[in-house]
Amino acid sequence: MARAATTSDAFNAIAEPRRREILVYLAVRERPVGDIVTALGFEQPSVSKHLRVLRKVGLVHMRCQGRQKLYRTNAEAIRPLHEWAGTFERYWQHQLQRIKERAESTIKNARPISNPKEKS
């Protein structure tokens, strides 16, 4: 089966860990490419390539300010990713609640262990 293009949708785009790092970095505020390069320690051509992919799928917006290109996340485009991941968060919260209930039940039903020093 052929691999899906990284630019076909947001899910394929964020499959790349460096793109996720860039999105996290941009989540705080709009930044120029140079700041991304410096902060994340990636090569400038690599950052530009990843930004191009993120921009093509709509996860980031770019605007020019003089000769500088500024990038920021597109919260509306990220929302479907968040909602999808939220499905699994609810699943794990339910599973963790079940584990907690089982542990509490086990503790409640356990016989107390006698301390040999108490038998005097």
Q: pLDDT per residue over 26-79, tens digit each?
A: 999 999 999 999 999 999 999 999 999 999 999 999 999 999 999 999 988 888
The answer on 100 and 57 residing in a single domain is no
pLDDT 10s digits, 74-106: 988 888 888 888 888 878 888 888 898 888 888
Give CA–CA dist 48/36, Å, rounded: 10
Phi, psi torsion values for 68, nearest 5 degrees: -95, 140
Residue 14 CA to chain centroid, in angstroms? Answer: 9
Query: Residue 8 corresponds to which amino acid?
Result: S
Range of the structural domain that residue 61 is part of: 10-75
CB 10 within 8 A of CB 80: yes
| Position 52 in a domain | yes
Same domain, 69 and 101: no
Q: Write the CATH number for 49.
A: 1.10.10.10
pTM: 0.68
Task: Take residue 98 and report the two structure tokens written for it.
Answer: 């079940």
